[in-house]
Every structure is written in structure tokens, then in C-alpha cells.
A and B are shown apart, each in its own frame.
Chain A
Amino acid sequence: MTGVWTIARLTFDSAARRRVLWALLLLGGAFLGLYLLGLLALRSGIETARSVIGNTLTAEDQRIFEVGLNFVLMAGLYAANFLIVMMTVLISIDTLAGEINNETIQSIAVKPVRRTEIVLGKWLGFAAILAVYILLIAGGAMMLVRLVLGYIAPNPLAGIGIMYLESLMLLGLTFLFGTRLSMLACGAVVFGLHGVAFVGGWVGQFGSMLFSEGARNVGKASQLILPTEGLWRYAAARMQPSFAGLPRFASPFSGGGAPSSDIIGYAVVFGAVALALAVWQFNRRDL
């Protein structure tokens, strides 16, 4: 076990020094800054409106107002989710392929540390980095909405947890391709799959809006290929108030057409299998 921790710490420390991490942190900071400006503008708009119509909202108006606030938060979290996906792939993409290529791995792999421990240690190291990033970006977006507009979505922790699961699963997949492919090919495949899932998710959403069984099935199939988009939609659905009585609308921010809770189990298995295959492959390959 010492091996796993040593590798995890080494991975964490070296990831923390990567330029791509700082670039994405900066990008995350810029996003939160812009988001904050938007929220402040929105607040003054709301205040102006309130000064005109007064503070007497019907229950129905109150609900529509809350849906609006939720939409604002979901738009922010959607952007955060995108950054998290980018971070997951970009930070970990060259850890196996790159270290095999530049031969750094050689002086590690000859130590009395199993190759399984090397892969798991690296996975843990990145998992720790990503946890920090997700708390900063997604947690930050939630915090800003809470501070500026005084709104808290339902199940915020579950939402963040599901986004973290999405990131961990994608990490397993990046590892899997990273043990076989070059860095560039690995990135192309992982982002490609994510793109398929994203577009498929949209098609599925329109399917459920337009009651088209075929389109809905495309959405479901894309979730099986890579459940990233499905997880996002599930997380969004958990963080939204019930929409009963409101018209359905399609947007990437919404949980419309969200999968059932089965997607959690599927994503856990998906990520675990990807990681196990990565371990298996790394164990067999020549370094």
C-alpha cells in the first residue's frame, strides 16, 4: 500500500505543477468572475422589477421565479461541468502514455511496486486534484448564486457528487486509452466519445420532448457508449425543483429527458471496468 500512496502523492504533486492545471484554474476563475458579473446584473434587474411590481407574488409566480433562478444556476453548473470534463482529460492524458514515452516510468516500474499499484496510485492522485477543482468551480458557482441571489438548489451535494462521479469515470477511460494510445490519439478518442454522448444526449432530449421513441433510443444508446452527458442530466434533474405544470423545454442546462437513477450504477461499473482494463493492459505491456 505504501507504493500506492507514494505514487498518488507524486502524481498529485506533479499535477499541481502542470501548466494545464493552472490554465484551467485560470479559466475557471475567469468563468466564475464573469458569472458573478452576470449574477450581479441579474440581481439589479430583479430589484428594479420588484420596485415596480412590489413584493407580492402569487404562489404560481413564485414558482416560475424559482425555476428562473434554477435555470441561471444550471447554466453556470453546465459551464463548470464542461471545465471539469476538460480538466479530467487534459490533466491525466499523458500520465501513462507520456511517462512510458519519455521513459520516466522505467525507474518506477523496476521498484518493488506492482504495476497495479502504479495505476491505482495515479488514479487516486488525480482523483484528489479533481475533487479540489470540482469543489472550487461547481461549489464556487453554487456559492455565488447563494450569495448574490440567495438561491440554493435542491440536493446541491448530490449534484456535486454526481459531477465528481462523472469525472472519476472519465479518468478511468482516459487511463484505459492512455495505456495503449499516444497522447494525441487518446485525447481524440476520449473527447470524441464525449462528443457522441453530448450530441446523443441532445437527440434523446428532443426525443422525449417530441415524444419520438426513435430519438429517445438514440439518447439512451449514447448514454451507454459513454454516460458523461447522462450523468450531467441526471445531476441537473436532481438539482431542479419539480417542473409539474410547467411546459417542457429543451436546453443543455436542463435535466429534461434525464435518465433514471440506474445511470449511477452504470457509471460506477463503467469507470471501474475501464480502470480494471487499464490496469490489465498496463500489466501486460512492455515499458
Chain B
Amino acid sequence: MSTSPTIETSHLRKEYNRKVAVADLTLSVARGEVFGFLGPNGAGKTTSIKMLLGLVAPTNGEGRLLGKPIGDHAIRARVGFLPENFRFHDWLTADEFLRVHGRLYGMREADCRQRAPELLERVGLAEHARKQLRAYSKGMKQRVGLAMAMLNRPEVVFLDEPTSGLDPVGRRMVRDVIRELREQGTTVFLNSHLLSEVEVTCDRVAFVKNGVVVKMASLRSLVDGTATVDLRVDKVTPELLEALKQMGSDVRADADRINLSIDSDETLPAIAQLVVEQGRSLYAMTPQHVSLEDLFLQIVGTEGSL
């Protein structure tokens, strides 16, 4: 297996009749990474996935998927995809459905026959294998769609809002499946607006807003690094505030309390030292890590529903 990134894009852009859906998508996703793609509705997440999969032709820019230009025909045998509004011919039973897709993937009949029940078992639909999809609930359809996305043992799986319509048990199942995929070395590209789900599954996230990636970082650095610190001192002086502004941002203060945001926990000892050097007494220093949700609201803003 080559070491080129699974996904690599450079200034991908999509306009529909002059309306910009994706303005500039530049990102790189490494092999085996679980990558979260976050943003409010209408930020261009689905259009981005569709460009990567060759369903939608970019207006501009370029991208590579598994080392081949996006839209390459042969590469699709190594890609899995669960569309956001997953729909299929609902007169098929789950078992028939997976076999049809296996044939479309170009899989051998024997392989399909073996793989279909395995996957239905995995997504908890083994006992419904012979039921027509039209009798399925939305959550069950989502599950069978997930099985379809893994059918060909793909090297990269695109999941567009995989937990929509699922109950808590189903959501847990999706999380477990994503973890298993990671353990098998499969790259996962996860479109989601459910931050809690991203928080527990993703290695790295990109925040998109109005079709632009506004921030990209590893989840660990985002959540562990960024924090707000509460300081309690004997007296707040202008000099102290001035000095603290060099260490962090959003510095606010009242009589004996100061609150500021810092980028890394490494800054904490330096803050303590600064307070003491300024001749002040430090009574308490409480770092609080922000949740992904706070971060999301900070980065993407509050406009647009989630």
C-alpha cells in the first residue's frame, strides 16, 4: 500500500449557477485516519463529499483519492459511501440489496454470499435479512446502508451523517463500527454535525463554514490544548493585565478575578510565575478545557442551525 494520503485536495470549488456551494476546499487526510468534517447545515459538507466521490464535477481545483485523480473509475472499487439521504429500491430484501451492490462493486458472487450475512449481523439486522427494505424503519435503513458502505472492504469510507435517524443504541453501533474500521486501517471521512459523536471517534477535524475550511486540527490538540483559565489574586493591577495579554487572549477581570483563554496547558506555569513576579499573591488557578461544542460555536459562529 502506498503512503500517499488517502484524500488530498487543492482549492476545490463548486458553484451551482454562480451560487457558491464550496468555495475552497484544501485538505489532506492520511491513511487510516478518522477525519471529521464539521460545519453547520448548508456549509458545503455534502457537496464536498460528492466532489471527492466524482458525483459532482468541481468548478475549479483538483483532488486525489487513494493517489488517483478524483472521479477515477477503477478506484471506486476501493471506496465505500453512505449517502446522507440513503435511498434504494425498497422492494429488495436486505440480503438481495447487498448482493446487488456487491455485483456493482464487481465482487465475486461467492464473496458477496459470505460477506452479506456477516455485515447484516454486524449492524444488527441478521434477523431482518429476508425482509423487504420498505418494511424497514429509518434507523434500519441507515444500518443496512452502513453495511453496504463496508461491503467491498474499502480502504476509505465516506459517511455522510451516518447517525441521522438512529436511536442511542444505533449511534453507539456506528461509533463502534468506526472504531473497528480504524483498527483495520480503514480511513474514515465522517460528515457530521453531531459533535459528541465526532469527539469520541475522530483523530482530526476540519471546520467548514460557507464552503471554506476555517480550521483544521487534531482533536487532541484542539480539546486538550485550548482552555480558559480562572485566576484568583489578591489584587488586579493594570500592569498584571497588560502582562497577561501577552500570554493569552480574551483577558477579562473584576476585583480579584481574571479570566483568559490560552492555547496550550504549557502556558500555565508561566502564568503562575508571572503573577508571583509581579508581586501578587496567587490564591487559585483553574484551567477549564473547552468542549468541541464550545469550539465549534467559537469557530463557526452561532448563525445557522445545527
Contact = CB atoms under 8 A, between A and B. Distances in A.
A103 B101 CA distance: 16
A109 interface: yes
Contact of A2 (B56, B87, B106, B145): B106
A92 B16 CA distance: 28
Interface stretch (B78-86, B122-130, B179-187): B78-86
A114 B76 CA distance: 10
B91 A14 contact: yes
A108 interface: yes
In terms of DSSP, what is the predominant structure of the interface of chain A? helix
Contacts of B91: 13-14, 17
Interface stretch (B47-55, B168-176, B194-202, B257-265): B47-55
Contacts of B104: 3, 6-7, 108, 111-113
Interface residues of B, number: 29
A262 interface: no
Interface string A34-58: 0000000000000000000000000
Contact of B85 (A2, A6, A103): A103
Contacts of B89: 10, 14, 104
In terms of DSSP, what is the predominant structure of the interface of chain B? mixed
Nearest to B96: A13
A246 interface: no
Interface string A111-122: 111100000000
A287 interface: yes
B87 A110 contact: no
Contacts of B75: 112
A106 B100 contact: no
Nearest to A107: B83
B54 A110 contact: yes
Contacts of B136: none
Contacts of A114: 73
B103 interface: yes
A110 B53 contact: yes
Interface string A251-287: 0000000000000000000000000000000001011
A22 B145 CA distance: 30
Interface of B: 16, 50, 53-57, 73-77, 79, 81, 83, 85-89, 91, 100-101, 103-106, 145, 148
Given A110-B81, A114-B73, 8 more contacts: A2-B103, A6-B104, A14-B89, A103-B83, A103-B85, A110-B55, A110-B76, A112-B75
